[in-house]
Amino acid sequence: MSSSAQRLTNRTAWAAFWVALAGLVLMPIPLFIGLILGGGLSIIAAILGVIALLKGLARSGKGIAPVVFAAIFIALTWGGISIGGGTIW
């Protein structure tokens, strides 16, 4: 087997993971900067997560773990924004 056949990673899942993590880290910046940066990145991560989930399910579940962590980061970001993160902190 070639090395490319052995290494089937879901790059979209990893992109969703890193974008969601960046959104979570940038969300607490006050004066609506965190709301725009963190919220915008979390929306992009959610779109990437759906695409990665569909790709992962087509590959018998390859690359689902980063999507799960991305979904947790997205939920934490949206939860933080809903209690005032990025606006008044």
Please list the alpha-helical segments (H only) found in 1-89: 3-6, 11-26, 33-58, 64-82
Residue 34 pLDDT class (50, 70, 90 cuts): confident
Is the pLDDT at 3 greater than 60? The verdict is no
- Cα separation, 34 vs 27, in Å, equals 4
- Cα separation, 66 vs 19, in Å, equals 11
Tens-place pLDDT, residues 39-60:
999 999 999 999 999 998 888 8
Is the pLDDT at 4 greater than 70? The verdict is no
Instruction: Provide the whole-model pTM.
Output: 0.86
Sketch the domain layout of the chain as residue ranges.
3-82
- Cα separation, 18 vs 85, in Å, equals 20
Average pLDDT value for residue range 24-30: 91
- The pLDDT of residue 5 is 53
More confident residue, 54 or 4: 54
